Amino acid sequence: MTAPHATDAAPVLPSLEGADAPFGLYLHVPFCATRCGYCDFNTYTAGELGASTSPQAWADAIDGELALARGVVGDAAVSTVFVGGGTPSLLGGDGLAALLDTARRHFRFADDAEVTTESNPESTSPEFFARLREAGFTRISLGMQSAAAHVLKVLDRTHTPGRAVAAAKEARAAGFEHVNLDLIYGTPGESDDDLRASLDAVLDAGVDHVSAYALIVEDGTALARRIRRGELPDTDDDVLAHRYEMLDGALQDAGFDWYEVSNWSRSEAGRCRHNELYWEGANWWGAGPGAHGHVAGTRVWNVKHPARYAEAVAGGALPLAGHEVLTAEDRHVEDVMLRVRMRSGIPVSVLRPDEIARAEDEVAVGNLGRLGDAYVLTDAGRLLADGVVRRLLD
Ligand SMILES: C[S@@+](CC[C@H](N)C(=O)[O-])C[C@H]1O[C@@H](n2cnc3c(N)ncnc32)[C@H](O)[C@@H]1O
Ligand code: SF4
């Protein structure tokens, strides 16, 4: 990966000891049973990895990287942990419990730390959730995507339509108060009725959080090739906007509130604090192959391939592929991009005079409203969030 201000020299990362801002840990699990045709995340099937590495080698390397990370950031209390992938649930309850123990051996967790793991519905069970609860996880995020069998098929998802809801109920029965379901909308072949059925299923699951993302057709994926060959229709912006309105309407009627353009929760306690930490530009360490982190204005990212990553850690150095020292301008652009999308909005004090003038133009056309000291997206503006950001930063 390259970035505009990337440099070759090792980054100078300060200790975060004593800092009162939240500090997060992201732990990347780079394994999937099969690759979904739409996904370009840094993940590998067993066939792709062959004998080059193993889950045990990855676990040892995470252990080594966290020891190095602790040496850099010092005794900073961890406020949130997010185990993402890939498919963390492929590690099983014991594997995820061991990963959390590893993190705890290196870092002190805050008493109220939020500890989330992503899971794929097909690799979960009541025993799995019970083990996670016992190990100290506090939040489960399940990749549901859709309740329509033909949509799951286009996405190459291997779970049956009912499995995600059943898994969410099992997680709740195991004592998880905070459970998220991820939806994807706008998949080729999805109808309004399909989305309505997915929403009914989400509401039946009794979860307190929903993330819903429009399908992104990523270059180089099997899905992009199928669309290019004409086997599947491309996504349509008008359809996506209509589906977003359907989602938002159904979720609001059921007592959810949006707190970021693609995220809804039933209460403030149900929000994902780890994602909020990203959006607010706080500090986090990203451990694992290809993981990204941010420490006091420097962005860092790890080498992507699990075998190269493990080799780098075994060599005793941070397994970095690159880093970028953010300029004041970079930080400003990022702040605007991320905070406009949040319900708390962008504080007027963050904007420059020309940006305030353009924000007032967006107020005049109904995309932004003024709430106290912040500009906040209106319902109409949420459909056009990317355009609002572009025009503000013009
Ligand atoms: C990368 S996955 C990792 C967790 C888990 N393996 C899963 O699939 O749910 C996290 C979320 O990103 C979503 N995602 C991945 N690629 C996407 C794309 N091209 N467009 C929209 N959402 C995508 C997934 O569907 C999933 O809900
Ligand atoms: S299961 Fe998740 S991470 Fe794995 S390929 Fe599918 S979307 Fe990507």
pLDDT of residue 19: 76
* Region 78-106 average pLDDT: 98
User: Given a cut of 80, is residue 314 above it in pLDDT?
Assistant: yes
pLDDT digits (tens, 9 = 90+) for 7-27: 556 788 888 887 778 999 999
Is residue 6 predicted with pLDDT exceeding 60?
no
pLDDT in tens, 74-84: 999 999 999 99
To the nearest whole percent, how much of the chain has pLDDT over 70? 98
pLDDT at 1 over 50: no
Ligand 1 neighbour 240 (Cβ under 6 A): no
| Per-residue confidence (pLDDT) for residue 214, from 0 to 100 | 97
> How confident is the model at residue 4, as a pLDDT?
46
- Mean pLDDT score, 40-59: 93
**pLDDT, tens only, 328-347:** 999 999 999 999 999 999 99
CA of residue 184 to ligand 2 center, whole Å: 12
Single-letter amino acid, residue 311:
E
Rounded mean pLDDT, 153-165: 94
State the ligand closest to the CA atom of 89: 1
**Most informative mutation of 39, 90, 142 for ligand 2 (most atoms within 8 A of CB):** 39
Using the atom order of ligand 2, give the atom closest to the CA of residue 38.
7
What is the pLDDT, as a whole number, of residue 232? 96
Query: What are the boundaries of each domain within the chain?
Result: 23-280, 327-393
Q: What is the pLDDT of residue 21?
A: 81
Burial (0-12, 13-18, 19+ Cβ within 10 Å), 94: exposed
Q: Is the pLDDT of residue 196 over 60?
A: yes
Mutate to test the pocket of ligand 1, among 184, 202, 207 (most ligand atoms within 8 A of CB): 184
Q: What CATH class has 23-280?
A: alpha beta
Residue 8: what pLDDT? 55
Q: What is the per-residue pLDDT across 250-281, written as a single tens digit (0 to 9) for each?
A: 999 999 999 999 999 999 999 999 999 999 99
Tell me the pLDDT of the chain averaged across its residues: 95
pLDDT at residue 316 is higher than 60: yes
**The predicted structure's pLDDT at residue 14:** 80
pLDDT attached to residue 2: 40
Fold of 327-393: Arc Repressor Mutant, subunit A (1.10.10)
Distance (angstroms) between ligand 1 centre and the Cα of 145 equals 8
Mean pLDDT value across residues 64-69: 97
